[in-house]
A and B are shown apart, each in its own frame.
Chain A
């Protein structure tokens, strides 16, 4: 049993490393002499996609062995789900790569997938038993389809982001350059989260608090130094710093203050990383990347971004609305209950429906469409992360 779990985590780690190596090969395609970015993949591109596929297979092995070890499909908590989402992202990338053979897509899609997997591994990784409502085949039918749909939609974001970095005029500072920097900064924040959590986890930092939650006294264990402590909480562990301030009282969820503290740390680390990047590059991050993207054709990027939505939208509808409704009907006796997660799935769906309709009119191709793709990804990430952590509902188990 233990050996299976070991195999499983080793394979996940292997996949991560392979994605990293593949990213470098896709990066090398920028310097490829033959300017055939649209025709044929080039040597580095071919190596890159081969390594990506091997990495994907390694991750499949992770998935299957973990399934064998736990007896249920590993999509039942935030770690397992986010990891699966990362895997789906790679899969979606592979599909679109084979349609369009665009190397630059790998240079951005794989890091996004890696950020997602690194983020996932910061959550508890123990194999947990399934509560009765989750004991259904619809659990994995629903979750796998919906995350595949969201992953394909995310490729639209990746293509849109490349489009924006490629196209936005960086010679002067403008609203558009600022927003683009904000989008890039948010990626830094995710990286910051992984770095800061890993470093304090390795150092074994722990500070325990006692506070009152729903009228009961409970304790919570901080693994990051408390900037924000629990509201009216008391520090139990000696020789640890006292919180600089208390989390506001309206943050009600389980361990809300600790999560809030983690968010503060992630944002700070992200800002520091971003600041360092700016110092080293001596220009906006977008401006620094732009010259490397000259070879990518804007209308090709625009088409990939749109095509990803066209492919992902039906998959998302099927998984996120229809399968979800069937399961909800069986488990909770209603197929739709206005639970926050359900509502945000509807919001995502409406957003992409609006996107598809806007593409019918002429003015909404190109840059506007790329901004929309970024907005859609923001909604997806909000639903995956914030709804679970902030707006607790039926899905808060995950």
Chain B
């Protein structure tokens, strides 16, 4: 390495633009920060030697230099911004409305949005945020963050540590804020120093040369917030692994108990009751709004009990359970146990629990019951024996009946619209008869049945939909976010202000630099020179 020795005696690393100690521009390196073009010195990173600006030979140098450029970083940000915005033109796959005629993305986008929708789908924009290229973009931003930070932090840290109160006059004259005063008394110089101290500047003196500095730590803000961002990105990466992040969904009917998916059969949940409340229509406060928009839900709640399996499981046998906790699960109030979290996510109203049918003679206008039976829809039996000698076979059961291409079928396995094909065996040796019965449906297969089935009663209940989560990455996200906020506040709400006092023969030079808020720095200097003859600094930006 070709170290550069400055006339002040300090040895600078190769690539230095401004001497770390005295700030004198290093000849031959001024093009790096564009100082050869202008009067004012470029004070970014204090003119320190950055790897990216110094070496450009090996392939590693080239990659390093590419990613260390803020310009490249900004381009990556802009690309991510544009891509993110594109993803909102049409809904993402997970936001296809539940009531859409077809939720199959290959159909939905074209049917709903025409050709544009079709193109959108074929380009994969319906799943944009999970696409490899979007993730790559975010990963590249991560790489850029790391390299940019290292490339700048190390030399900047060294330069600020090495700086000496005595600065080269060229350095001072080429600062944005500068003034020179011909005659200044020793008394006035002391006044300046005490003024600086009063404004809580850290003052260092060396043979009458003064460096007053305030808020240097704010220079580290960007690097701190970048560390925070890196942690967030790592957390997002870890979240893609099933061990760190578990996401399941479970339906539990009122009164039922079921194993919680994702817990390897260890935990069970019982839904004691599901509660759906709406706002009171007569509430004076909300009367008008409710009249306008109809009923408004007030609360969704599952009263749940969590059980843990005790001891070894015996295959086939019912597990022995131990109560872990009992609590209400509401929106905004999830239930936590043993690292898992349960969220109230959905509900199904009016799921059928049981149905009671009666048998009567087809030609009886009073439909007097000859006997009745109840089908438990959770476990329908194959055959029901009635006291009066009738028996009924359950020939077909459609829990969620619909006609599909003229054929009866079941949309789901949940008893939301139950329908049956029932075979009635009358007592004696009369012929068995087939009937199709459901809600609002009663069809006689042959049209010649002597007996008819009617729905006498039914019971419904709520099913509660709960999300099961275990997310070990959350603490990492939180740490990342906290570090980011600390860094960004540190960098934005404080400024690194420096004021140099440089005694000349009988007078003094004053120069000032800050990384932001020049207005504030000027006010500081104004106060420091008050009651002295020292000239106020000129803002040389106007003349640059």
Chain A residues proximal to chain B, CB less than 8 Å? 1, 69-71, 99-100, 124, 126-129, 131-133, 135-136, 138, 214, 250, 252, 299-300, 303, 306-307, 310-311, 313-314, 317-318, 322, 325, 329-333, 335, 337-340, 343-344, 346-347, 350-351, 353-354, 357-358, 360-362, 387, 391, 393
At the interface with chain A, which of B255-263, B284-292, B389-397?
Answer: B284-292
Contact (Cβ within 8 A) B289 A128: yes
Contact (Cβ within 8 A) A343 B293: no
Contacting residues of chain B (35-76) with chain A, CB-CB under 8 angstroms: 42, 44, 70-71, 73-74
Residue of A nearest to B85 (CB): A347
CB contacts (< 8 Å) of B129 on chain A: these are 338
Contact (Cβ within 8 A) A135 B331: yes
Given contacts A135-B332, A337-B94, A357-B73, 5 further A-B contacts (CB under 8 A): A126-B289, A129-B296, A311-B492, A317-B485, A353-B77
Whether B460 is near chain A, meaning CB under 8 Å from some CB there, is no
Contact (Cβ within 8 A) A317 B484: yes
At the interface with chain A, which of B17-25, B360-368, B442-450, B512-520?
Answer: B512-520
In angstroms, Cα B299 to Cα A197, docked, is 36
B126 to chain A minimum Cβ distance, whole angstroms, is 11
In angstroms, Cα B293 to Cα A350, docked, is 37
CB contacts (< 8 Å) of A303 on chain B: these are 517-519
In angstroms, Cα B331 to Cα A333, docked, is 9
Contact (Cβ within 8 A) A354 B77: yes
In angstroms, Cα B289 to Cα A303, docked, is 46
Contact (Cβ within 8 A) A343 B84: yes
CB contacts (< 8 Å) of A361 on chain B: these are 70-71
Known contacts: A129-B290, A303-B519. The answer to whether A317 contacts B488 by CB under 8 A is: yes
A99 to chain B minimum Cβ distance, whole angstroms, is 8
Known contacts: A214-B99, A357-B74. The answer to whether A351 contacts B477 by CB under 8 A is: no
Contact (Cβ within 8 A) B88 A391: yes
Contact (Cβ within 8 A) A393 B95: yes
Contact (Cβ within 8 A) A314 B99: no
23 pairs, CB–CB < 8 Å, chain A vs chain B: A100-B519, A124-B289, A126-B286, A127-B285, A129-B279, A129-B285, A129-B289, A131-B296, A131-B297, A132-B298, A252-B112, A310-B516, A314-B485, A314-B488, A314-B493, A325-B481, A331-B332, A337-B94, A343-B84, A344-B88, A350-B78, A357-B70, A357-B73
Whether B355 is near chain A, meaning CB under 8 Å from some CB there, is no
CB contacts (< 8 Å) of B474 on chain A: these are 329, 335
Contacting residues of chain B (310-360) with chain A, CB-CB under 8 angstroms: 330-334, 341, 343, 345
- Cβ-closest 5 pairs across A and B: A333-B343, A128-B289, A132-B331, A350-B81, A340-B88
In angstroms, Cα B73 to Cα A252, docked, is 38
Contact (Cβ within 8 A) A331 B285: no
Task: Indicate which residue in B113, B283, B333 contacts A129 across the interface (CB closer than 8 Å).
Answer: B283
Whether B467 is near chain A, meaning CB under 8 Å from some CB there, is yes
CB contacts (< 8 Å) of A350 on chain B: these are 77-78, 80-81, 84
Q: Which of A136, A351, A353 has the most CB of B within 10 A?
A: A353
Whether B380 is near chain A, meaning CB under 8 Å from some CB there, is no
Contact (Cβ within 8 A) A362 B34: yes
Whether B489 is near chain A, meaning CB under 8 Å from some CB there, is yes
Task: Indicate which residue in B279, B289, B517 contacts A307 across the interface (CB closer than 8 Å).
Answer: B517
Contact (Cβ within 8 A) B469 A333: yes
Interface string of B473-501 (1 = CB under 8 A from A): 01001000100110011001100000000
Contacting residues of chain B (269-314) with chain A, CB-CB under 8 angstroms: 279, 283-286, 288-290, 292-293, 296-300
Contact (Cβ within 8 A) B84 A314: no
Task: Indicate which residue in B297, B492, B493 contacts A132 across the interface (CB closer than 8 Å).
Answer: B297
Contact (Cβ within 8 A) A132 B489: no
Contact (Cβ within 8 A) B74 A132: no
Question: Chain B interface residue count: which class?
Answer: 35 or more
Whether B87 is near chain A, meaning CB under 8 Å from some CB there, is yes
CB contacts (< 8 Å) of B42 on chain A: these are 362
In angstroms, Cα B19 to Cα A306, docked, is 30
Whether B407 is near chain A, meaning CB under 8 Å from some CB there, is no
B229 to chain A minimum Cβ distance, whole angstroms, is 10
Q: Which of B80, B289, B493 has the most CB of A within 10 A?
A: B289
Residue of B nearest to A138 (CB): B332
CB contacts (< 8 Å) of A360 on chain B: these are 44, 70
Contact (Cβ within 8 A) B85 A343: yes
In angstroms, Cα B516 to Cα A347, docked, is 25
CB contacts (< 8 Å) of A127 on chain B: these are 285-286, 288-289
Known contacts: A310-B492, A331-B332, A357-B73. The answer to whether A126 contacts B516 by CB under 8 A is: no
Whether B92 is near chain A, meaning CB under 8 Å from some CB there, is yes
Known contacts: A132-B297, A250-B113. The answer to whether A322 contacts B488 by CB under 8 A is: no
Whether B124 is near chain A, meaning CB under 8 Å from some CB there, is no
Contact (Cβ within 8 A) B81 A351: yes
Known contacts: A127-B286, A343-B88. The answer to whether A132 contacts B330 by CB under 8 A is: yes
Residue of B nearest to A349 (CB): B81
Task: Indicate which residue in A132, A300, A347 contacts B332 across the interface (CB closer than 8 Å).
Answer: A132
In angstroms, Cα B484 to Cα A301, docked, is 29
CB contacts (< 8 Å) of A250 on chain B: these are 112-114
Contact (Cβ within 8 A) A313 B331: no
Contact (Cβ within 8 A) B332 A136: yes
Whether B542 is near chain A, meaning CB under 8 Å from some CB there, is yes
In angstroms, Cα B467 to Cα A344, docked, is 26
Contact (Cβ within 8 A) B285 A70: yes
Residue of B nearest to A303 (CB): B519
Residue of A nearest to B38 (CB): A362
Q: Which of B284, B285, B343, B469 has the most CB of A within 10 A?
A: B285
CB contacts (< 8 Å) of A325 on chain B: these are 477, 481
In angstroms, Cα B132 to Cα A105, docked, is 46
Contact (Cβ within 8 A) A128 B286: yes
Q: Which of A70, A300, A350 has the most CB of B within 10 A?
A: A350
CB contacts (< 8 Å) of A351 on chain B: these are 81
CB contacts (< 8 Å) of B539 on chain A: these are 299
Contact (Cβ within 8 A) B467 A333: yes
Contact (Cβ within 8 A) A330 B332: yes
Whether B541 is near chain A, meaning CB under 8 Å from some CB there, is yes
In angstroms, Cα B331 to Cα A138, docked, is 13
Contact (Cβ within 8 A) B477 A335: yes
Contact (Cβ within 8 A) A128 B296: yes
A252 to chain B minimum Cβ distance, whole angstroms, is 7
A362 to chain B minimum Cβ distance, whole angstroms, is 7
A15 to chain B minimum Cβ distance, whole angstroms, is 23
Known contacts: A311-B493, A354-B74, A354-B78. The answer to whether A133 contacts B87 by CB under 8 A is: no
Contacting residues of chain B (394-444) with chain A, CB-CB under 8 angstroms: none
B374 to chain A minimum Cβ distance, whole angstroms, is 35
Contact (Cβ within 8 A) A314 B284: no
Known contacts: A1-B284, A331-B331, A331-B332. The answer to whether A346 contacts B485 by CB under 8 A is: no
CB contacts (< 8 Å) of B44 on chain A: these are 360
Residue of B nearest to A132 (CB): B331
Contact (Cβ within 8 A) A314 B290: no
A367 to chain B minimum Cβ distance, whole angstroms, is 15
Contact (Cβ within 8 A) B289 A133: no
Task: Indicate which residue in B92, B289, B299, B489 contacts A338 across the interface (CB closer than 8 Å).
Answer: B92
